[in-house]
Amino acid sequence: MLLEENIAIDVDKEEEQKASFKEKLADKLTNVAGSWSFIIIFILFLIFWMIINVTIFKDLDPYPFILLNLLLSCLAALQAPIIMMSQNRQSKKDSLRSRQDYKTDLKSELILEEIHDHIENVLKNQKKLIKLLENLNDESSKEIDK
């Protein structure tokens, strides 16, 4: 049964079609939050915040920048579950990919065993034919000798 059915599927495409809007959004946010551009922009924002609050808005968020700490804590509290949702989805994709690889490997193994059996039959038949030809050759050489 496994030999006759097509088992290869594109796991990424299949999972992308099944993904809900929330899952796609979590993946996009994780991709953005895990990029160098986000890190650089965020570092620049932190430096800008500190400079502005030390020089211009001294009373808004004075050193040690408690409001900035609150913003960073809120960002971390929101970012962690979003990243975990994306990792769970990736884990499901990896599991599906692993099952697909197993099915493909199993099918390949079965096909190879079938090919091996056919080759063995061909070799047996070839040996029989060689023996028959040798016997015919021996008989014809005996008749020629007579």
Domain residue spans in the chain? 11-145
Predicted local confidence at residue 137, as pLDDT: 86
Contact 32, 38 (CB under 8 A): yes
Mean pLDDT of the chain: 87
Q: Whole-model pTM above 0.75?
A: no
Contact 26, 79 (CB under 8 A): no
pLDDT at 12 over 70: yes
- Please report which helix (H) or strand (E) contains residue 52, including its range: helix 36-55
Half-sphere exposure of residue 6: CA atoms within 13 angstroms, side-chain side: 3
Q: Of 62 and 6, which is predicted with more confidence?
A: 62
Secondary structure class of 1 (helix, strand, coil): coil
Q: Determine the average pLDDT of the residues in 129-139.
A: 90
- 10 Å CB burial of residue 86 (0-12, 13-18, 19+) is buried
Alpha-carbon gap, residue 16 to 92, rounded angstroms: 12
pLDDT in tens, 86-100: 899 889 889 988 988
Predicted local confidence at residue 143, as pLDDT: 76
Alpha-carbon gap, residue 16 to 123, rounded angstroms: 49
% residues pLDDT > 70 (the chain): 93
Q: Of 8 and 121, which is predicted with more confidence?
A: 121
Predicted local confidence at residue 5, as pLDDT: 66
Is the previous residue joined to 64 through a cis bond, with omega within 30 degrees of 0? Answer: yes
Contact 96, 19 (CB under 8 A): no
